[in-house]
Amino acid sequence: MKQLNRIIFVLSLIGVLMATYVLQSWLRHSTIVCLTGGCTTVAKSPAAWPFGIPVPAVGLVGYTILTICAFLRTANYKQQTMNMLLRIMLGMAAFGVCFVTWFTLTELFVIHGICMWCAISAVDMVVIFALVTKSYTLSK
């Protein structure tokens, strides 16, 4: 179980770094490394700014919460606290999967462009969700 938590922590930290890199680019209107050529198209689309919030900002918040919870799960807290942290992680990862699914569909059918970083982030979140779900199942 500790191994799963470590992997979740590392993947969440990678998500924080990716979201930070993409967010700073979007806010500064600068270019980023993009092998698909769709990153600029996606960043300029109003659909990538729901309610005026850039999509990478949502990712940054989600990945940060996952990182903090995974880090806190390495401490020796009461079992009740550990279970609460795991439930928070499960909820955040479930929201994350729903969010990246929505945004991937938005990229495909509304924006008509694929951001390489968004695609990598989507895979990262799905893997995190699978690992958190496995960890949750093992804790029962």
Residue ranges in the chain whose pLDDT is less than 50: none
For 51, counting Cβ atoms within 10 Å of its Cβ (0-12 exposed, 13-18 middle, 19+ buried), the class is exposed
pLDDT at 38: 92
Please, which residues have CB within 8 angstroms of residue 118's CB and are 6 or more apart in sequence?
22, 39, 42, 55, 100, 103, 104, 107
Residue 22 belongs to what domain range? 2-139
pLDDT at 20: 98
Read off the CATH number of the domain in which 79 is found: 1.20.1440.130
pLDDT at 130: 98
pLDDT at 140: 78
Q: How far apart are CA 122 and CA 20, in angstroms?
A: 15
Cβ proximity of 65 and 92 under 8 Å: yes
pLDDT at 76: 82
Inter-residue long-range contacts of 48-53, CB under 8 Å, 24+ positions, other chains counted? 48/103, 48/106, 48/111
Q: How far apart are CA 61 and CA 64, in angstroms?
A: 5
Number of domains present in the structure of the chain:
1
Q: How far apart are CA 37 and CA 140, in angstroms?
A: 45
pLDDT tens string 29-56: 998 999 988 999 999 999 999 999 999 9
pLDDT at 52: 95
